[in-house]
Amino acid sequence: MSGAAPASLTRALPAPVRFVLGLGILTGFAALGTALVGALRLPLPGSVVGMGLLWAALSLGVVRLHWLEAAADGLLATLGLLFVPATAGVIEYLSAGAAWALWLLVMLAGLLLGAGVAGVLAARLVRK
Amino acid sequence: MTWVALTLLAFALGVLAQARVRHPLMNPTLVATVLVAGTLLLTRTSYDGYAAQVRPISFLLGPAVVALAVPLYRLRALLAREWRALVLGGAAGTLVGAGADILLPRLLALAPEAQRSLMTASVTSPVALQLAPVTGAPPALAATLAVLSGLLGALVLPPVLTRLGVRHPLARGIALGSVAHGIGTARAREEGDLTGAASSIGMGLAALLVTLLVAVLG
């Protein structure tokens, strides 16, 4: 909860309406990020830029957490659903056959090296 | 519309299966993918036809990626207090992990689409999917490899970190989140709130860092 004025108008909205408001704000930031990326010809996804902009807007108090947290929590709770349409496209790569073993090996190497470095370094830097 | 219904129901089934069998491989996305892909193969439906029908589901990815800012914002106090461990540890891990995912496929001379898809294996799948136009990866392969990488990380990393003597919850969380993203974070939450929180931060920072890395290389 942010330090918004008590009993604010937005806080009194019914939950479904607040959900719609939140979804509108999140989609608005995605659109804003996409527009910015297009205008500046940045090689970045608009939604990641939108995420950065929302973080800044929350930190500056331009956007209040309670306006959108119900929608954000709802979307993040079912995040795994949203890329099933993409992962189902794996049927187009079944013919890669034995190459899958190499792909998994590369990922395993990346995971072990990355997590090993992150874990050991973070353990040294953490304040007790 | 049939395929939208099937995708939603397959995912719900995956969530139910996960509640019954607590194992990283019982992941709702993996279960739904196997069910949907199997049905597509059995009914000889083209993937393009399916993808066009389920566009309403894919559309929500943009707002969902934006929503990742909310847990990061909620954890700002932890981030401010432990930024050295979280930011430096997470950045080093993400860069080493993504570096291996970028260099090894080149050394092994893997197929170009696999090279491009592996670049984003260490970021959360929605971000990997949104990065596909930037890396030139086939979106389906990039998303699938990201999911598999997360599953693999959730399976192998916790015991490896213990072997390495990484016991502090924040250090374990940041290690899991920075390379195994959402699925690693779900596994980290099982170890405790602090581990889960550090993992969320690691996942969010990895999304930003890999996006920048890909932008620089691309």
Q: A54-63, B19-28, B151-160 — which is least confidently predicted?
A: B19-28
Distances (CA, A) of B182 to A47, A80, B113, B176: 17, 9, 24, 9
Mean pLDDT of chain B: 92
DSSP, collapsed to helix, strand or coil, labels residue A119 as helix
pLDDT value of position B163: 96
pLDDT value of position B5: 97
B187-208 exposure pattern, b = at least 16 Cβ within 10 A, e = fewer: bbbeeeebbbbbbbbbbbbbbb
Mean pLDDT of chain A: 89
Measure the CA–CA gap between B17 and A117, rounded to whole angstroms: 34
For every residue of chain B, DSSP letters joined together read: -HHHHHHHHHHHHHHHHHHHS--TT--HHHHHHHHHHHHHHHTT--HHHHHHHTHHHHHTHHHHHHHTHHHHHHTHHHHHHSHIIIIIHHHHHHHHHHHHHHHHHHHTT--HHHHHHHTTTTS-HHHHHHHHHHHT--HHHHHHHHHHHHHHHHHHHHHHHHHTT---HHHHHHHHHHHHHHHHHHHHHHH-HHHHHHHHHHHHHHHHHHHHHHHHH-
The token pair that represents A102 in the structure block: 């190499």
Q: Chain B contact for A101, CB < 8 A?
A: no
Q: Among all residues of chain A, which has the CA nearest to that of B91?
A: A118
**pLDDT < 50 positions in chain A:** 1
Assign B31 a pLDDT band (cuts: 50, 70, 90).
very high
Q: What is the pLDDT of residues B124-134, one digit of tens each?
A: 888 898 899 99
pLDDT value of position A128: 65
Model pTM? 0.86
Interchain proximity B54–A85, CB inside 8 Å:
yes
Q: What is the pLDDT of residues B45-59, one digit of tens each?
A: 999 999 999 999 989
Nearest-Cα distance to chain B for A104, in Å, is: 8
Q: Chain B contact for A91, CB < 8 A?
A: yes
The count of other CB atoms within 10 Å of the CB of residue A53 is 20
Residue B90 has pLDDT above 80, yes or no: yes
pLDDT value of position B27: 85
pLDDT value of position A97: 87
For every residue of A4-61, DSSP letters joined together read: PPTT-TTTTS-HHHHHHHHHHHHHHHHHHHHHHHHHHT-SS-HHHHHHHHHHHHHHHT
pLDDT value of position B149: 92
Nearest-Cα distance to chain B for A49, in Å, is: 8
Q: Tell me the one-letter amino acid at B147.
A: V
B123-157 exposure pattern, b = at least 16 Cβ within 10 A, e = fewer: bbbbbbbbbbebbebbbbbbbbbbbbbbbbbbbbb
Measure the CA–CA gap between B34 and B55, rounded to whole angstroms: 19
What residues in B contact A86, CB-CB < 8 Å?
58, 125, 129, 139-140, 142-144
Q: What is the pLDDT of residues B65-89, one digit of tens each?
A: 899 899 889 989 988 999 999 999 9
A113 closest CB neighbour out of B72, B96, B182: B96
The token pair that represents B63 in the structure block: 């707002």
H or E segment and range at residue A118: helix A99-125
pLDDT value of position A65: 94
For every residue of B105-156, DSSP letters joined together read: HHHTT--HHHHHHHTTTTS-HHHHHHHHHHHT--HHHHHHHHHHHHHHHHHH
Interchain proximity B114–A99, CB inside 8 Å:
yes
What residues in B contact A50, CB-CB < 8 Å?
62, 65-66
What residues in B contact A99, CB-CB < 8 Å?
110-111, 114
Residue B24 has pLDDT above 90, yes or no: no
The ipTM is 0.89
Averaged pLDDT, B182-201: 88
Q: A107-111, B148-152, B158-162, B175-179 — which is least confidently predicted?
A: B148-152
The token pair that represents A14 in the structure block: 């019914």
